[in-house]
Structure formats: structure tokens, C-alpha cells
Chains A and B, each alone.
Chain A
Amino acid sequence: MSELFEIDNLQIQARKEDGTPIPIVKGVSFNVKAGQVVALIGESGSGKSTISMATMAYCRPGLEFPGGEVRLHGKDVLGMDPQDQRGLRGNNVAYLAQSAAATFNPAITIGEQVTEAAVLHGTLTQEEADKRAVALYHALELPDPDRLGRRYPHQVSGGQLQRLMAAMALVSGPDLLVLDEPTTALDVTTQIEVLKAFKKVIQEEGSAAIYVTHDLAVVAQVADHIVVLYSGEIQEQGPTEQIINNPSHAYTKRLMAAVKPTPTAGMGDMVDDKHDRDVPNIEVKNITAGYGGIVNGKPAITVLRDIDVKIRNSHVVGVIGESGCGKSTLARVMAGLLPAAKGEVILDGKKLEADLKHRSKDELQKVQFVYQMADTALNPRQLIGDILGRPIEFYRGLKGKQRREEVASLLRMVELPVEFESRYPSELSGGQKQRVNLARALAARPEIMLCDEVTSALDSIVSSNVIKLLQKLRDQTGVSFVFISHDLSTVGSFADEIVVLYAGRVVEQGPVDEVLAPPYHPYTRLLISSVPELRVGWLEDTMQKREMAVGIARGVEITDQGCPFYNRCPIVIDGVCDVEVPATMEPHKDHFISCHRSMEDIQEAEAAPQQILHGFEKAAPDEKKAV
């Protein structure tokens, strides 16, 4: 009896303009048994996505299959005629893409998209498919399963869409599921929720899966077997336990080293006072901001409430929180892109205009913004030299030879070859583009760089290199950073101070070593314990903790009164937390926690053994929450 699925010496190549082939995948072989989850792991460019699509005999335009076989139930799918290949896709083999938000068609209802494959392939009638979809929504713990199908993709959240994609893949009962980085773009808390749902459904359905990712910690939770890829070749493969606990190949060890450590005190830089001046570099005081028209100092939709943050010279302040907590809004207020409804932004002791239109060129120069997506932030029709040269000329008036020299020195500073000035962004890799993106902000010689999720779209090795670069830039130029990220490990390793934002309010704030050490604000604790550990069985252990169950099950909601975290908090005081705004305590100097519980209560709750739940379902939303 043959294996369920075999890839045998698979080769995939692109072609240069003159027709010479460029190999992308160079003879890869591995098998997937029924019911087994195989992980393909490697950094971007290793060919893992390309291989995963080859399971459906599909390759992106410009690629071709020169050799090798992909066999499903012993039959080669690459050699099939296109009609039969189409019959496989979405039927025998189903695919889950990285970004559900981009993968769902905005103009078609969720229900139609989920059931489409099964109905088109004739596996199920529309009615049967609808029933099965609703059953899957239930299994994936999606809200309002009976009416979900009639909604459009923009009406549900990102984490829900990601799970809906799983429903879409599973509806026709495929033999093999292909998951391509399905949790990479998600918050840690959402990632757990999605991972848990995937794992449960894969087990219940008994289908085999190929799981593509660069994150070893995630792989450790879901996979039975790991295939390590580098540059289109297999470096090492074996059972998960063996690869995680006992890697033999040097590249696997490098990947292990790039796994983000669990955020703990002492992991980052210590606050050092060597650049300190009396006045903070930039400071926001009592900021309230949001979107929509402003009436009586209150915007129609309030996002940030009464925010006070100080960034000292040459310091890195990390801003963390899940999406929807107002992290980017805070940066936009500082940059003047979004004028605050109330409060002040102070630069070097001088009050800044709220709106960037009224700020002077000098003030604009000092505060620079670096966007998450270098792909969209860099003009694809401009040469790198022009992208960097423009701010040099605009802010510093350098022209001609001086401007060119400055561009060259910026490129050297971000560790890129000087020849890159005559290239277009599309000729660069993701990490290189992000370096250009940073250099563009540096070109203005700013005092503060606002970095909005600059490493979130990069894989772990590239992202740790970017962080090293940022540290070097800070030491060389003395620039301060506001480093926004939902990734607590990265923030912990790089920042001097951390601001934890929840639903538009600062819940905890202080030096890294204080914030990442007990006592924690309950939200900080939820974030820290949601970071996956490189350990088999971590997901199950974590999900059994009651406080995780409650915290994960709910999402961010901005509230007008009380503490916004009350509906996810394991130590909530009913009748207090949902009504009154919590007071701010200062357990140590410059370390602030906003909570109704006393520091002693918090410490006691942290020390108490976690109540173990049998199955997650018991944490029903309206159940009484025990301390």
C-alpha cells in the first residue's frame, strides 16, 4: 500500500529573460501518511510555499515543473491533464493561505465562498454543503454559526476569517490539507485561538496536512514530522520530537537560535542614562484621539484615552498590545497624521501643533515614520537612490554630488551595497526593502523614529537581523525609537521601556525588566503566556489554564467606562471593574500598573496554582469567573 501523498525528487524552476533556467526547488522528496501533519520549515525564499502549491499541481505564473513527481494515492498529479488537476484542487487537496483577509473575495458572501469548492466538484449539493459549513463553524468555535454564511468578509474579524478559511478548505472533506503560514500575520492571542481550532479540526476530520511556516515554536505544537528547507533543498527531516530536541543540521540549529525567547526580565538592554538630558525627547500628555468629527473634545470613535508617554533621548520605547488597541493611532498622533482631540505632543520641551500641516519643516524633520509594509511604502517606480535622495534634499538641502555621497553613506549605514542606489524596490528582498525603508527615515536625520510593526512581516532570521541593525543605528546616531509591535519577544529584546496598551488605554508602563517581571498587569500576563514556547505539548498545557481560556475567547473591545479588560480578566471584580476606571499604582519607580486589585492581590493570583480545565468549552463567556 502506497503512502497517501508522496513528493518524489520535485523540481521547480523559473527562467531568465534569455531562457536559461533558474532552479527554485532542487529535487525535494518527502511523504505524508494519512492523518499525519508534516511541517515544511524554512525562511522566506526557501521554496516552501512553492512546494506547498505544487501539491495541487499548481505553480505561480513564470514557474514550471521540469521534473519529479507528486503522487496522491500513488497517482502522479503533475502529469494529469488540466481538467483532472482542477478536479483535485479544493476537493482532494485543499489550501489555506497566509492572509485570509486577502484570500476572501470581498464581493461574495462567506457562505458561498466556503461551500463553492464542494458544490462545484459535485461532492455535495448546495444544501448539504451549507449544513456541513455550519457544522464546521460550530467546530471552529465561530460566533453566530447559523447566520455567518450570509455575511461578507469585511464584516468579521481577521482571526475569524482565518478560521473560516479552514472551514472553506475542509468543507469537501479533502484527503490532504495544505496550510501556508496560516497564523504568521496574527496577534499572539489570536494565533493560539486559531492554532487550537486547526489542531482540533484536523484531528476530528482525520485528514493529513502539510503545514508551512518559519516559526519552529508553532511547528512544535502542530506537526508530527518536520522537513527543514533551505534554498529549495531539504536540509534535514524527521519526527518533531527529534528535530526540536536534537537537531543535527547546522541550519536547523540556526533556525532554533532565531526562535524568539519567551519574554522575561533581563532579556533586553538595560536602561542606561548615558544620553539622558533633562527634557524628554518627545512626550505625549493626556492624549485623547480617535476618528470622526470632534465634538466637545471627544471624537466620534475614541481610540486613545488619556495617554501619557515619555520617550527619553536615545531610548527605545516599545508599544505593545493586540491589533485594535490603538498602537498605530498613538504613532499617528505623534507624527501629526492624526490630530489629537485633546492633550499635547511635546518635542524637546516645546509644544507641537496637533496637525502636521501646521508644524514647521524643522519639527517635521525630527519626527520620522517607518511603515510596516516596505512593499507599499516605497514607490515601485523610483530608484532607491531617489527614494533616499528626496528627503536628503528636502530636509537638508543637499544636492548633486553631496546628495549622492549621503545616499551612499545611508546605504552603508543600513548594511546594503552602495550599488543598490540604481535599483528599483522590486529587485530587493523583503529584508532589504525594510532596510531601505529605515534608511529613508534616517535620511532626514531625525531625533525620533516611529517604527510601526517594522519586523512583523519578516521571518525570524531576517527580523532578528533588522533588530540588530536598529540597535546599531541607535548607538551610532543617538536617535530614539517608538517601536510598535504585537510581538512581545522582539520588543523585550530591544526596548528600554515598554508601554502596554489595551483598548486605547495604558494598562502598564515601565522599564523592560519591571514590566516583564512579576507582578504583571493581568493583560501583560496574558500576552506573555500566549507567546508559543519551543516545546511539544505547550499549546495543550496553556489552553488548560482557565485564565487563558477566558482571555483567548474574547477580543478587544473599546469601552467608555470601567477597565476595558474586565471581560477577559481572570481576577475581575464584578460591579467594580466594569464600572469604575482603575487607579494607577506605582510598585516601583517609573513602573505603573492600572488595576482595581492591589499589588498583593495580583501577586497572590499569579502565585496560585492554575485551575486546570477539562476542555476549553467550559469557559463559557458568562460563567462566574473565579480568582
Chain B
Amino acid sequence: MQRMVFQRILIGIVTLWVVSVLVFLMTNALPGDVAQIVLGQSATPESLAAYRAERGLDQPLLFQYFGWLGDMLTGNLGTSKAGGATISSLIAGRLGNTMFLAALVAVISVPLSVALGLLAAMYPGTWIDRALTFGTLALISVPDFFIATFAVLFLAVNLGWLPAIANVAPENTFWEMARGIAMPLIVLVIVVAAQMIRMTRAGILNVMNSPYIEMAILKGVRRKRIILRHAFFNTIGPIVNVIALNLAYLVSGVVIVETIFSYPGLAKLMIDGVQTRDLPLVQACAMIFCGTYVVLIILADVAAILANPRLRNPK
């Protein structure tokens, strides 16, 4: 089992490395020249060359890559090519915001959706189940920006309960913070919960056809206990994987939601970076997103391994 966990981590590291190559090559393939953007139209060829030499932009690509990779590994993310501030300082605040929002969404949505999924599986075919399956299917089919826009229209414009813009600042009180992020929080919980609810329900119902569930029925076990004790433990693998994918989405995939609510998160920072051709910033953000994915997927795999008694207790 330890070997399997170790293998997963190794694969994760390899994946990250491949991703770093791709990120580096792709950001380099983007049109536009940083020196040109920074120094403006009036820059002389000499000053452009000097700027490139200073930043190592005249080196061969391979050298640039290893230099960049080394910097990344030592935590030196460089300075923003557009503003001159260090990238770490730019990211730090935004990452905090993103993590704060993601953690809150996770804390609310994961227990909520597993509970609702179990509820739907416990009473299949009843109105609870139908409402949940229909509702989640509808929510999965609707794009997240639509839900976000609708929430703004309804909760901010029509009812005026919540601010349309998620303004957070360090000096806010907790209550102000909570009110500020309520809107993106609601939208994100709705978006990620739908998938997790469906997966939990489907996973449980799939296991419910197994002979050992029939045996439990024939032993006179209550349906509630059958689902919670007999079925749920055999469904953990697929469920944690969906949870991991959804949590990764919370960190990296929320660009649209962050943009709509002007929430100062990491994804929005990356978009700004792309607009200003700030390649180091874009690269750093991309690596953080990929890293989050890889770490969460590894965690999900390890959780699935730990949940499997065959792997936990070899013969």
C-alpha cells in the first residue's frame, strides 16, 4: 500500500514537471513582446536589447526554462514584468482570498451534497429524489455565469439583499466579509454541489444492486443502515474523486464567477496578467492551479486506497 501511495506521488511530480514545460512553452508562444510593452512604442532598439539582456530574455529558450524552473522551485517567482512588484506579493493576497472562498465553499458544499446524495439514494423514486435529480441536472446544464448573473439580478438588483460586487479588504469586519462574499459563495456552492450530489446518488445506487446488499436486506438490516454502513463505504473511491475535481475547480476554474463579482481572487489576477502580457505572473498562476489539481487528485487517490480494505489489509 505504501508503494501505491508513493507511486501516486511520483506520478504527481512527473505530471507537474510536464505541465511546467507546457506552461513555459505556451506562454512563450503567446504573441507580443514584454520589452516592447514595458518600454512602449518609443523605445530604441538599444534600450530594448538592454532590457532583454537584463531579464535574460535573449538567452536560448532551454536556458530560460531551467532558470525559470529553478526560480520556481526556490520560491522566487520573480518580479512582475508589467508593474515591477514581486509576483509573490501580488499572488499572496489573491491566493489568500481564493483559498478563503474555496475553503468556505468546500466546508458548506461537501457535507451538504454527500448528505443530499445519500438522501436521494435512500428514497429512490420518491418526490425528494425526483426533485434532487431534476434540480441538479438543471443546474449542471446551466453555465455558471448564467447562475451568477441571475443571482446578481435577483438578490442584488431586485431584492437588494446583497451587494452585487464582492468587495473584500483586510480591514473588513467578519460580518462585512461574510456579506461581501455571500454572493459568489452561493453561486459556487450551487455549481459544485450539483455534480457531487448526483455522483453520490449514482455511486450508492450502483452498489445497491450487489449481492451483499441483498444479503443485508435478507438479514433484516434497516435501509438507512444498509446505505450508511454497507453501501457508502464501497462508494468512497468515486465520490472523493468527484469532490477533488470540484475543489480543484474552486481554485482555478472560477474565473468567470470571480470576474462577474469582481472578487479579487487568483483567477482574476491571472486574467489581468494575460491582458498586460505579464508572462511570469501568468506562469506562476498556471503552476499554482496545476499544482492544486495534482495535489487534490493525489489526495483523492490516497483516500480511495485507504478506503479499500483489500489495499489496506493485504492477505
Q: Please give the residue numbers on chain A whose beta carbons come within 8 Å of chain B beta carbons, in ascending order.
A: 53, 56, 58, 60, 86-91, 94-95, 97, 99, 102-108, 116-117, 120-121, 151-152, 154-155, 168
Contacts and interface: CB of A to CB of B under 8 A. Distances in A.
A107 B234 CA distance: 6
Contact of A108 (B210, B211, B218, B233): B233
Given A89-B220, A95-B215, A120-B219, 6 more contacts: A56-B218, A86-B222, A106-B212, A106-B310, A120-B222, A121-B220
B309 A106 contact: yes
Contacts of B309: 106-107, 152, 154
A91 B234 CA distance: 26
Nearest to B211: A102
Contacts of A86: 220, 222
Contacts of B210: 102
Contact of B212 (A104, A120, A152): A104
Contacts of B229: 108
Contacts of B214: 60, 97, 103
A91 B211 contact: no
Contacts of A53: 218
Interface of B: 210-212, 214-222, 225, 229-230, 233-234, 307-310, 313, 315
A97 B230 CA distance: 17
B219 A90 contact: yes
B220 A88 contact: yes
A263 B12 CA distance: 57
B315 A154 contact: yes
A488 B211 CA distance: 29
Given A108-B229, A154-B310, A155-B313, A103 B212 contact: yes
Nearest to B221: A120
Contacts of A60: 214
Contacts of B313: 151-152, 155
A28 B212 CA distance: 28
A120 B225 contact: yes
B234 to A, nearest CB: 5
A95 B211 CA distance: 12
Nearest to B216: A105
16 contacts: A60-B214, A86-B220, A87-B220, A88-B220, A89-B219, A90-B218, A90-B220, A104-B212, A105-B215, A105-B233, A107-B309, A108-B233, A116-B219, A155-B313, A155-B315, A168-B219
A579 to B, nearest CB: 27
A396 B217 CA distance: 50
B217 A58 contact: yes
Contacts, number: 75
B220 A105 contact: no
Given A87-B220, A90-B219, A103 B211 contact: yes
Contacts of A120: 219-222, 225
A178 B211 CA distance: 16
Contacts of A154: 309-310, 315
Interchain residue pairs A-B with the least CB separation, the first 4: A90-B219, A89-B220, A107-B233, A102-B211
A117 B234 contact: no
Contacts of B221: 90, 116-117, 120
A152 B230 contact: no
A117 B307 CA distance: 24
A152 B310 contact: yes
Contact of B230 (A94, A105, A121): A105
A95 B217 CA distance: 10
A247 to B, nearest CB: 32
A106 B220 contact: no
Main secondary structure of the interface of B (DSSP, over half): helix
A121 B308 CA distance: 28
A95 B218 contact: yes
A620 B234 CA distance: 40
A152 B234 CA distance: 13
A94 to B, nearest CB: 8
B190 to A, nearest CB: 32
B57 to A, nearest CB: 48
A85 to B, nearest CB: 8
Nearest to B218: A95
Given A107-B309, A108-B230, A154-B310, A97 B211 contact: yes
A206 B293 CA distance: 60
A58 B214 CA distance: 10
Contacts of A91: 220
A106 B213 CA distance: 11
A61 B2 CA distance: 42
A151 B314 CA distance: 10
Contacts of B310: 106, 152, 154
Contacts of A105: 212, 215-216, 230, 233-234
Nearest to A104: B212
A143 to B, nearest CB: 14
A89 B217 contact: yes
B3 to A, nearest CB: 13
Nearest to B223: A86
A154 B219 CA distance: 21
A150 to B, nearest CB: 9
Contacts of A58: 217-218
A80 to B, nearest CB: 12
Contacts of A106: 212, 234, 309-310
Best-buried of B216, B219, B307 by chain A (most CB within 10 Å): B219
A99 B234 CA distance: 19
A97 B234 contact: no
A89 B212 contact: no
Nearest to B213: A105
Contacts of A121: 220
Nearest to A56: B218
A99 B211 CA distance: 9
Nearest to B309: A152
Contacts of B222: 86, 120
A91 B220 CA distance: 8
A53 B211 CA distance: 13
A97 B217 CA distance: 12
Contacts of B234: 105-107
B30 to A, nearest CB: 42
Contacts of B211: 97, 99, 102-103
A152 B309 CA distance: 7
B307 to A, nearest CB: 8
Contacts of B219: 89-90, 94-95, 116-117, 120, 168
Contacts of A97: 211, 214-215
B309 to A, nearest CB: 4
A60 B217 CA distance: 11
Nearest to B217: A58
Nearest to B229: A108
A109 to B, nearest CB: 8
Contacts of B315: 154-155
A116 B309 CA distance: 19
A120 B223 CA distance: 12
Nearest to B235: A107
A56 B219 CA distance: 10
Contact of A102 (B212, B230, B308): B212
Contacts of A95: 215, 218-219
